[in-house]
Structure 1
Amino acid sequence: MLVQFLAAAGVLAVLTVVPGPDMAVTTKRAIASGRQDGLRTVGGITAGLLVWGVLTVAGLAAVLAASAVAYTVVKLAGAAYLVFLGVQALWQSRRGGSGALPVAGPAAAGSPWRTGLVSNVLNPKIAVFYTGLLPTLAPSGLAPQAGMALLVLVHAVLTFVWLGGYVLLLATARAFFERPAVRRALDRVTGVVLVGFGVKVATAQP
């Protein structure tokens, strides 16, 4: 069972470090508002994974993954939210910047925790991933639901550690990111990436 668990954790680790919407949302928030808001965003993202984990163990995520209508509704809502965040970042880049990272403002509006949570809860790909992959990775020595719950916790911890470390890395280069030209460039790149992910989510198939 230990070998199976370590193999499953390795798969989850690889999937965690692959750049995706979570990293883009985290980058946007950390650059806009600093380390604390970046970490709160990561906390929201992690909470979103736990929400999907509870739904998966309860069997509700499988219903979503199997329902074309429900999947499409959540998919389009998630895509719209990512596009909204991307346009927000692009608009902020037009405003320029006077140097210091703002404590509040258009790019930092709203709860960072809620931003992370909503971006993840509105990602139906997690439902497909959890219902399709976790049962095959769950250690055979545990009951299926217990095995999936354990892997969800592992995935949540890996995500928090990885993205949290990424936020701390951004914080060490704060002086660099405070430069107006760098800030504008990052806002533009992050905005384009978020819009791109939104389009990708909108056109993705179950």
Structure 2
Amino acid sequence: MIDFNAIALVFSVYVVGVVIPGPNFVGIAHRAASGTTREALAMVGGTVLVNLFWASCAILGIGVVFATFPWIALAVKIVGASYLIWFGGRLIVNARHAGADSPARGGPGGVARAFRAGIVTNIGNPKAMAFYAAVFSAAAPRHVSLPTFLCMLGVVAVVASLWYGFVAVVFSTPAVAARYRRGKAWIDRVCGAVIVSLGVRQLLVR
């Protein structure tokens, strides 16, 4: 039996969580503007895959695990925040160059790299971990049937794909991409600074 009330609650909570800009939004927008639409959509695929992983963990009780073993949550938080700081710092440093070393630059194997970037950025995203461990897990009922569980994952997959896919397509349009190329250096610095600040914030917030 499917619990439609639980699915509707998860949907309302998840839509708000996804739309609020974070590292995923910045990463996908930057990839779309600096690379190709295929690369941006590949990054979306990696992001959605990890969203499904976090959602599954939340529904199955990751909040309980983190509450019982707080050091696990702390370790994931530190690793994720460190990655964001490194990734943002790399964008800032490479912004000084013509683009050959840019981490989001297209090229052979760019789609595969973009997919991996979506996975790494999201699984190391403290904002995602905190959202799923606290807000999402609180919205999901303690015990759900398999059909309800699958429907909840379907909600996550559809919402994340539509939103991040929209971001990827919009930021990869010729007009937006052309503006990015004209101001690549300072845009990369701004994106890098935002990502670094998100990482630092996660380290400082308890």
TM bucket normalised to smaller: 0.7 to 0.9
- Determine whether 1:164 maps to 2:165: yes
- In the other structure, the counterpart of 1:183 is 184
Q: Distance in 1 between matches of 2:99 and 2:135?
A: 44
Contact 1:57 1:149 in 2 (8 A): no
Pick closer, same or farther for the CA change 1:112–1:148 going to 2, 3 Å.
same
Letter in 2 for 1:119: T
Aligned in 2, Cα 1:197/1:135: closer, same or farther, shift over 3 Å? closer
Match of 1:114 in 2: 116
**Structure 2: distance between partners of 1:112 and 1:103:** 9
Q: How does 1:40-79 map to 2 (within 5 A)?
A: 40-60=42-62, 62-79=64-81
Superposition RMSD in Å: 3.1
Q: Which amino acid aligns with 1:84?
A: W
TM-superposition CA deviations, 1:53-74 (whole Å, max 9, x none): 2323443553135422111111
Unaligned runs of 5+ in 2: none
Moved more, 86-95 or 28-37: 28-37
- Relative to structure 1, the CA distance from residue 71 to residue 168 in structure 2 (aligned partners, 3 Å threshold; closer, same or farther) is same
The within-5 A match list for 1:17-32 is 17-32=19-34
Once the two structures are TM-superposed, the CA of residue 193 in structure 1 deviates from its matched residue by 0.4
Task: Report the residue type matching 2:166 in the other structure.
Answer: G
Q: Give the conservation status (yes or no) of the 8 Å contact 2:63–2:134.
A: no
Q: Deviations over 1:138-194 (max 9, x none)?
A: 479x83675455334312321221111111001112222222xx1112101100001
| Structure 1 alignment gaps of length 5 or more | none
Cα offset for 1:120? 1.8
TM-score, normalization by structure 2: 0.80
TM-score, structure 1 normalization: 0.80
Q: What residue identity is the alignment partner of 1:129? A: F
Identity %: 27
Asked whether the 8 Å contact 1:134–1:151 carries over to 2, the reply is: no
